[in-house]
Chains A and B, each alone.
Chain A
Amino acid sequence: MTHSSGEWRCLHRLFLPPPEKFPFPMTLTCGIPSMASSSPKYNSNSLESSSIKRIPKDGTKWEQNEEIPRLPGETSITDKEVIYVCPFNGAVKGRLYVTNYRLYLRSVELDPVVILDVPLGVIARIEKMGGASSRGENSYGLDITCKDMRNLRFALKQEGHSRRDIFEILTKHAFPQSHNLPFFAFVNEEKFAENGWMVYNPMPEYRRQGLPNEQWRVTFINEHYGLCDTYPSLLVVPYNATDDDLKKVAAFRSRNRIPVLSWIHPENQAVVMRSSQPLVGMSGKRNKDDERYLDIIRDANGQISKLTIYDARPSVNAVANKATGGGYEGDDAYPNAELFFLDIHNIHVMRESLKKLKDIVYPNVEESHWLSSLESTHWLEHIKMLFSKRIHLNKRQHLSTLHKLVLTGAIQVADKVSSGKSSVLVHCSDGWDRTAQLTSLAMLMLDSYYRTIVGFEVLVQKEWISFGHKFASRIGHGDKNHADADRSPIFLQFIDCVWQMSKQFPTAFEFNEQFLITILDHLYSCRFGTFLYNCESVREKEKVTERTLSLWSLINSEKAKHTNPFYTKELNRALYPVASMRHLELWVNYYIRWNPRIRQQQPNPVEQRYMELLALRDDYMRRLEELQITNNSKISNSSTSSASPSQMMSHVQTHF
């Protein structure tokens, strides 16, 4: 009996992991034949698989050298034996390579091989951990904080200051801006079939919207960024406002960011405008030109008696801004406008919220009180606020309009324009963070064009990049100052909102989750010029379009990988997502993607199957077209065959 009980204990240890780790830590799953196909070996890090995948799919030629992948233009700098302290699988011995683009680790052991492939741009902070005298295994080395929700830890030998060189090299190349080095984007020599810089050109985009027309004109007043240095050179303004008027208005708007047109409704001509806050100040200054300008905007719509102004800030913050010379449009000065506050918090609140979120998901997911700790991060709540909120009633509002106010945030903006047929002006303080979020989300809801791959690229390029969302400050590209108060995940939040929408409308978006993740990955990587710098004027000065590649080049060269197989083209349907907390989910595939237990559930076959489906769909569309041609005569003859798909298609086309 004793003998057998000993055996039992053995067995128990073998396959019954402690309950808190149950079930199936990696040690159990690997080696089981049935799992082999669905679980990616021993990888602690998903960039491994994605980097391997990238080799054939990128269309770029990797220079195979020293067995590490290299992009054209990428140069190797150093390499070193280190121990990678993986939070999931323990210590892994390997060789760390540093290039001017990436940090790459390959384990010494080949089965299973652990690979880590991190663009240096992702690194937010490099710290030395432990000292020469510190004891304990793997206590001496480097701790690297990344911008994409993970930390990397490398242990080195304590003898001979072994980490000094690697620390200095990493710091130098991870933060090139702080060391007078160029971004990798400027030395990148990749070639792509598509040129992503051609995706967005303001003029064709405004033409697509039917502009200019009798009410709206294109102005080149900002051609040399003389009016406003953070705006694009080409602006759309009311026809009845002269360039002189604009200059006068600019004086009354924070950083000269005057109200300009973002989007016009093709049917009811209601517009979405964006600007910064008016410079009201403590004394409650007024500006006749600004007041008249807003009235012109209201008139351009023709159908409304009042212009709706959405101030994205909480009303308290708006009032507080008066102290620093800002403020909001008061009742007396703007009798023809209705003002609503949308209660969206500022960049600092968002940054703290994301930090809390990272704390509960990396490296280990907070298990015991997962949902309440998720709630305490308020991340989803902030997402919800972007979509909608209950509004504080301004004293001028009547109860009769109350029911319309249930929808707020981006949904309210979209609803006001589409259903309310009213022009809206959106601003926050400076009009480059919350304003960009609101206008771009509202446009995404209103205009199906922005739900295509190219359309979304245009949207990002227009509302975010050209209108001066301060990517350089918010992300801190190549900047060592990790504690900079200007950093904030504003753009990430926007992408999260887009993901939430794509969850609720699975067929409405041409792009898939991978597309969004790719954008976020290269938001930090500095491999492309797309997100570099704060505004168009600086980008022009740095000749970004000439000297760097666009992220859209990469994406558009391999569109199939980023296409949603279930996309159904629809024109002009406004989407209103449900913004109740109950319907928002945490984007597990992004925020917790480094956790191997998550990845296990997302085996590659999902992507493969999507590709198959995509092929199927193309095939189907082709056959449908063929059928349409052959059936043309039949349809004209008989009106009864309602089941014919070609007729249905034509019906669909006429309907929209």
Chain B
Amino acid sequence: MKLLLHPAPRSREAERSLEIQGCSRAIERKKERKKSSALFMAFPAHPQALIQPQSRSYGADRAGAESCAAFKVEPRGPGENGRPKEIAVQRQNAAFPTPYRKTRTIQHRVTGAGQGLCLVAVAHQPFGKDPVTILWGSLCPVLLARVQLGTAAIAMEFAELIKTAKVENVQLSCPGLPPIKGTLCITSHHLLLSSQPGGNGEQSTVELWLLIRNVDAIEKSVQNLGWYQTSRTNSSHRDTRTASSLGTITLKCKDLKVLQLEIPGMEECLNIASSTEALSSVDSVMMMYPFFYRPQSMKLKDGWQLYPLQHYYQQIASETSAWRLSCVNGDFTICSSYPPAVIVPATVDDKVLKKAARFRQGGRFPVLSYYHKKNGTVMLRSSQPLIGPNRKRCQEDELLLSAVLDGGERGFIIDTRSAQAAKQARMMGGGTEPKSFYPHWKRLNRPLERGRPLQESFMKLVEACNDTSLSMDRWLSKLEGSKWLAHVKAALSTACLAAQCMEREEACVLVHGAEGTDATLLVTALAQVILDPDCRTLTGFQGLLEREWIEAGHPFHCRCAHSAYSHARLKQEAPIFLLFLDCVWQLGHQFPFSLQFNEHLLLVLFEHTYASCYGTFLCNSEKERCLCQVKEKTHSLWSWLNQPSELKKHLNPLYTYNALVIWPSVEPQSLQLWQGLFLRWIRSSQYLDEAWAEIQRLVTSCEDTPEGSAGRTLCHSQPDAAYPLTITGTANEG
């Protein structure tokens, strides 16, 4: 089966046809042997991909999952002796990642998820010796993610999810663009629409190339256009009835764009909708697109070691010998969300660290986040101490913190919770450093919103932005009601406070909240952008993200599972990283010449945290990345971004090195809505894009030869990004 497709970027073409062929072949085969339990190769890239026939019987159990107590997993495949293993399935409603650090036995957790069941298989054995796989996946009626010990191969039949692979005459409409008619295809990871090959040679093909992972919510409506007619005329033309029915699917994407597909045929419409829904809710990391994406121009291992912590440590080591690189967490046993290597005071040995880790939630003991070269002060981050209601104390933790300070120096602890919330946390076993045990540290509370309130604020804001009702007279109060800008303000001022402590007071700072994986990272990362000119360069910023977000264990997988449109029950989603990007954008807005990168980079980062073909933002921690072999089996976003052609698009042409600290204004009138993101699909960015292209041309023209400059070619790096909403007319036409 060959699809008529129009030329696409070369690197993707081969891969796409592979994907399409694979799927269509899958469907054909499915038809051939319907009842057989034949093994089926879904992807050439994964020869071991297998169907597990039992999956259906298990899936049928979905409705009555409560009764399910145990099931059998039969590991099959190369290298296995075929001995079946009994594995108990324990049903828990705890959302992952649960602190399974202490688990010693093989354990499966089944948790209810929006779509079918979610299987979390945690096999815990000492890392490195016996291969272990940790995996979670949706157990849809037809989908099973299977763990194979030893090879970590995944059995999965995407094709079974695809009920209709191809529909002709589908109309795509998005706001501000004339509708496009074409052929719609579903592959395992993409929705493709290629406009119909007309005889008109001039007409360029408009293609939709949508990562299904990007779909946040699907709304479908079916109109039975022919129904009344047929019933009135009393004819029995069933075929005409279905043919004239028309279904509309609204795809609301995680990058906030909204697409509408009009699909002829009710059945096709429903099939497409349910297939997309099923494919987009595949929750297993290793079944995500980055594991299948193999662009020809890139090598797999590139870009993963661009910003090693060792490199950052060496910069510090060249200034001072007070810090050392510790590998105490080399096997992730001390802290599952920390990277293998962390920077700690040189005078503190690993034994102390191990004990201090036990006193901190999730084992996140205080580590160095930033070294301020100007005056040698440092910023540390951690999670809350486990003081508990009994006012426990831990000598090692106190030692670790006092080792940071020289003799009479003082430090500040910035707690990202309110004083009351910090106090209340004691009842749950947490708390905050009491003054009596940490006499040299002064506590400051700066409550930052995280979790659900932040997600709700995000959803409210997007709803307000997309409110196309014509009377927009309440826009500003809606904007205020979303509280998003208040969150931006709070984040920026807390980061300013941390920066102020270091720059003005020349004191060390420890930042933590509760878990120390969200607001904490927001503050430490933002403070570094404010303080350190190196973090404002393109590579420096990438390094910062790698250090302070990815390696520091921000749970991207959980936080970015859904965006602002999803109707699914909120679990752990929170746009904390988006808030960080917004704050950086505000900095760039207030200091137009001080950031080397432009808004576009921030937009790319936003998109790729929610849905990506690169592995950089996959998983929740370094440990999970290790287990899923992300760094071996996926490409790095950085290696793509750093290609010269891409790099160019993300540079701020007005950048000049600014060694100063950039203190932003957090007055309400200084903070603007990030229109480029929140109104991206509503406004026309055409003129602004043109403007930037012009500025780019202007600034680079004197560096390049005039021939080398882009001239009047306007760069629309997002081909589908510029939907002109306004009418552009050339008065001279005709």
Contacts and interface: CB of A to CB of B under 8 A. Distances in A.
A581 B675 CA distance: 12
A112 interface: no
B307 interface: no
B696 to A, nearest CB: 10
Contacts, number: 187
A508 B669 contact: no
Contacts of B667: 365, 367, 595, 597-598
B480 interface: yes
B669 A365 contact: yes
Residue in B442, B479, B504, B731 with the greatest tally of chain A CB atoms within 10 Å: B731
Interface stretch (A96-104, A185-193, A529-537, A641-649): A641-649
Chain B interface mostly:
loop
A133 interface: no
A600 B485 CA distance: 20
A309 B684 CA distance: 30
Interface string B489-514: 00001001100110111000000000
A574 B470 CA distance: 24
Given A35-B663, A572-B732, A578 B726 contact: yes
Interface stretch (A80-88, A142-150, A369-377, A432-440): A369-377
Interface stretch (B106-114, B185-193, B685-693): B685-693
Contacts of B725: 578
Interface stretch (A69-77, A124-132, A214-222, A617-625): A617-625
A582 B682 contact: yes
A582 B661 contact: no
Contacts of B592: 606
Contacts of A415: 727
B698 A8 contact: no
Interface in A261-307: 265-267
Contacts of A604: none
Interface stretch (B312-320, B425-433, B644-652, B706-714): B706-714
B660 A38 contact: yes
B485 A371 contact: yes
A58 B178 CA distance: 52
A401 interface: no
Interface string B691-734: 10011001101100011010110000000000001111111101
B698 A620 contact: yes
Interface string B397-426: 000000000000010000000000000000
A586 B670 CA distance: 10
Interface in A630-656: 643-645, 648, 652, 656
Nearest to A613: B698
A572 B688 CA distance: 19
Interface stretch (A15-23, A228-236, A243-251, A332-340): A15-23
B94 interface: no
Nearest to A4: B439
Interface residues of A, number: 81
Contacts of B171: none
Interface in A548-599: 565-566, 568, 571-574, 576-578, 580-583, 585-586, 588, 592, 595, 597-598
Nearest to B444: A16
Contact of B593 (A11, A595, A609, A652): A609
Contacts of B476: 371-372, 374-375, 380, 581
B284 interface: no
B594 to A, nearest CB: 10
A583 B591 CA distance: 21
B209 interface: no
Contacts of A586: 669
Contacts of A571: 732
Given A15-B505, A38-B660, A372-B480, A446 B731 contact: yes
Interface residues of B, number: 71
A572 B734 CA distance: 13
A481 interface: no
A506 B688 contact: yes
B505 A365 contact: no
A582 B684 CA distance: 12
A616 interface: yes
Given A23-B663, A566-B691, A609-B656, A574 B730 contact: yes
Contacts of A493: none
Nearest to A615: B702
Nearest to A7: B410
A167 interface: no
Contacts of A369: 480
Contact of B661 (A8, A34, A508): A34
A581 B665 contact: no
Contact of B726 (A374, A508, A576, A601): A576
Contacts of B37: none
Contacts of B729: 418-419, 573-574, 576
Contact of A266 (B444, B590, B675, B731): B731
A644 B705 CA distance: 11
B2 interface: no
A376 to B, nearest CB: 9
Interface string B197-225: 00000000000000000000000000000
A60 interface: no
A656 B695 CA distance: 21
Given A601-B665, A648-B711, A15 B672 contact: no
A652 B727 CA distance: 20
Contact of A565 (B698, B701, B732): B698
Contact of A15 (B500, B702, B731): B500
Nearest to B442: A8
B477 interface: yes
Contacts of A583: 675, 679, 683
A333 B286 CA distance: 76
Given A371-B668, A372-B477, A504 B687 contact: yes
A623 B702 CA distance: 10
B475 A582 contact: yes
Contact of B691 (A34, A367, A507, A620): A507
Contacts of B664: 601
Given A24-B663, A370-B480, A623 B669 contact: no
A4 B729 CA distance: 71
Given A37-B660, A574-B730, A375 B475 contact: yes
Contacts of A178: none
B472 A580 contact: yes
A566 B663 contact: no
B32 interface: no
A543 interface: no
B569 interface: no
Contacts of B688: 504, 506
Interface of B: 410, 439, 442, 444, 465, 470-477, 479-480, 485, 493, 496-497, 500-501, 503-505, 590-593, 654, 656, 660-661, 663-670, 672-673, 675, 679, 682-684, 687-688, 690-691, 694-695, 698-699, 701-702, 706-707, 709, 711-712, 725-732, 734
Interface of A: 1, 4, 8, 11-12, 15-16, 22-24, 28-29, 32, 34-35, 37-38, 265-267, 361, 365, 367, 369-372, 374-375, 380-381, 390, 415, 418-419, 446, 504-508, 565-566, 568, 571-574, 576-578, 580-583, 585-586, 588, 592, 595, 597-598, 600-601, 605-606, 609, 613, 616-617, 619-620, 623-624, 627, 643-645, 648, 652, 656
Report, nearest first, the 6 A-B pairs whose CB atoms are least far apart. Answer: A370-B668, A375-B476, A371-B480, A506-B691, A581-B475, A372-B477
Given A15-B501, A22-B666, A23-B663, 7 more contacts: A24-B663, A34-B661, A390-B470, A613-B654, A616-B701, A645-B709, A648-B711
24 contacts: A15-B501, A15-B504, A35-B660, A265-B731, A371-B479, A371-B480, A375-B474, A375-B476, A390-B470, A418-B729, A507-B687, A572-B732, A573-B730, A576-B726, A577-B726, A583-B675, A583-B683, A585-B672, A601-B590, A601-B664, A616-B701, A620-B702, A648-B711, A656-B730
